A and B are shown apart, each in its own frame.
Chain A
């Protein structure tokens, strides 16, 4: 039986139209489509904002300060991501891993701060009718300022939680993506420990009691990716995952002013 030899010269392929490698073009195309997803959500939020009069302004100084720190975390994570790409281009594995880890820490801080704010708002009565029950939330107040907003302007809570949940999911996926690129198979046990610890420690009735299992889904996907195609991620992979991470930062640059600053309560 003859063995086919696949010796193909580089001239056999047309040069890339965009002058760069295909993984990067693929990520750019994904980000272009994902920007339309967030664009539609932001337009829907703005639509609600325009036709609802009066629009609730529930975010006190404490919420704005929290969201400002979250913004600073994401902006700083973008800087550490750029430094990771530089280190990867120098083939400096140790500093690539360190900067990616720093990016993950900033991303995780963002998620934790956002989760704490969500829990506080839900505890004070801001919730999406039906959805909170579906998630088993039991600690939501039925009286007070936020409960009134839920009752009288339900579109506020729907738009707020819909938009920020979508973004938080993207940040979570981004942290897992960075973990895979930085630590490869060594990231799997760490992710498993975080998932199990979260599932055990987050009390029933908290809004994140069930959604923590997103990490379990992430663990399965990461395991499939790493086991089916084990590889040593190079500078191109670091740059491509950086594109995704900067996009998550970019989207927040619109969510923060539109959702938080346009609904600030000046006391």
Chain B
């Protein structure tokens, strides 16, 4: 049986990650209230912050950072590839509808 955790763990780093996640959430809320960006730019900024937050959760809380590189890369690359394929299915059509003037 393998050990549950074979890496150098310290509780402190998880509190830092938790704090960073709360701070990033606060930044998102402030951006949402202030609306300093155009909707498209706002979407890009919020998604960028969400990707950072998800990387922290996956890497630290879900311990993927400490797994073998094969497992790490296989999971991340395969799921990302599926999302890229979904992107090319959905968004060209949504963009086409806008340019057709359906609205």
Instruction: Please tell me if the beta carbons of A254 and B21 are within 8 angstroms of each other in the complex.
Output: no
Known: A86-B11, A261-B29. A43 touches B18 (CB 8 A): no
In the assembled complex, the CB of B69 is this many whole angstroms from the nearest CB of chain A, namely 10
Give the distance in Å from the alpha carbon of A25 to the alpha carbon of B67 in the complex.
11
Instruction: Please tell me if the beta carbons of B82 and A86 are within 8 angstroms of each other in the complex.
Output: no
In the assembled complex, the CB of A211 is this many whole angstroms from the nearest CB of chain B, namely 28
Interface set, chain A 74-98, CB cutoff 8 A to B: 75-76, 78-79, 81-83, 85-86, 88-89
Please, what's the 1-or-0 string for A229-267, where 1 marks a CB less than 8 Å from any CB in chain B? 000000110010011001101100110111011101010
Which residues of chain B are within 8 angstroms of A266 by Cβ–Cβ distance?
33, 35
In the assembled complex, the CB of B13 is this many whole angstroms from the nearest CB of chain A, namely 10
Interface set, chain B 65-103, CB cutoff 8 A to A: 67-68, 70-71, 75, 78-79, 82-83, 86-87, 90-91, 93-95, 97-98, 102-103
Give the distance in Å from the alpha carbon of A246 to the alpha carbon of B21 in the complex.
13
A186 at the interface (CB under 8 A from B): no
Please, what's the 1-or-0 string for B19-54, where 1 marks a CB less than 8 Å from any CB in chain A? 001100100110111010001001100110110011
Q: Which of A16-24, A113-121, A158-166 contacts B (4 or more CB under 8 A)?
A: A16-24
Of all chain A residues, which has the CB nearest B98? A51
Instruction: Please tell me if the beta carbons of A89 and B79 are within 8 angstroms of each other in the complex.
Output: no
Instruction: Please tell me if the beta carbons of A82 and B61 are within 8 angstroms of each other in the complex.
Output: yes
Instruction: Please tell me if the beta carbons of A78 and B57 are within 8 angstroms of each other in the complex.
Output: yes
Instruction: Please tell me if the beta carbons of B14 and A79 are within 8 angstroms of each other in the complex.
Output: yes
Known: A85-B4, A246-B61, A257-B50. A17 touches B70 (CB 8 A): yes
Main secondary structure of the interface of A (DSSP, over half): helix
Give the distance in Å from the alpha carbon of A103 to the alpha carbon of B48 in the complex.
27
Of all chain B residues, which has the CB nearest A22? B2
Give the distance in Å from the alpha carbon of A39 to the alpha carbon of B32 in the complex.
22
Residue from A72, A79, A253, A261 in contact with B54 in the complex, judged by beta carbons closer than 8 Å = A253
Which size class do B's interface residues fall under? Answer: 35 or more
Which size class do A's interface residues fall under? Answer: 35 or more
Give the distance in Å from the alpha carbon of A60 to the alpha carbon of B1 in the complex.
52
Of all chain A residues, which has the CB nearest B96? A51
Residue from B4, B31, B79, B95 in contact with A261 in the complex, judged by beta carbons closer than 8 Å = B31
A177 at the interface (CB under 8 A from B): no
Known: A260-B32, A261-B31, A264-B33. A75 touches B62 (CB 8 A): no
Residue from B31, B32, B70, B97 in contact with A51 in the complex, judged by beta carbons closer than 8 Å = B97
B residues lining the A interface (CB < 8 Å): 1-2, 4-5, 9, 11, 14-15, 18, 21-22, 25, 28-29, 31-33, 35, 39, 42-43, 46-47, 49-50, 53-54, 57-58, 61-63, 67-68, 70-71, 75, 78-79, 82-83, 86-87, 90-91, 93-95, 97-98, 102-103
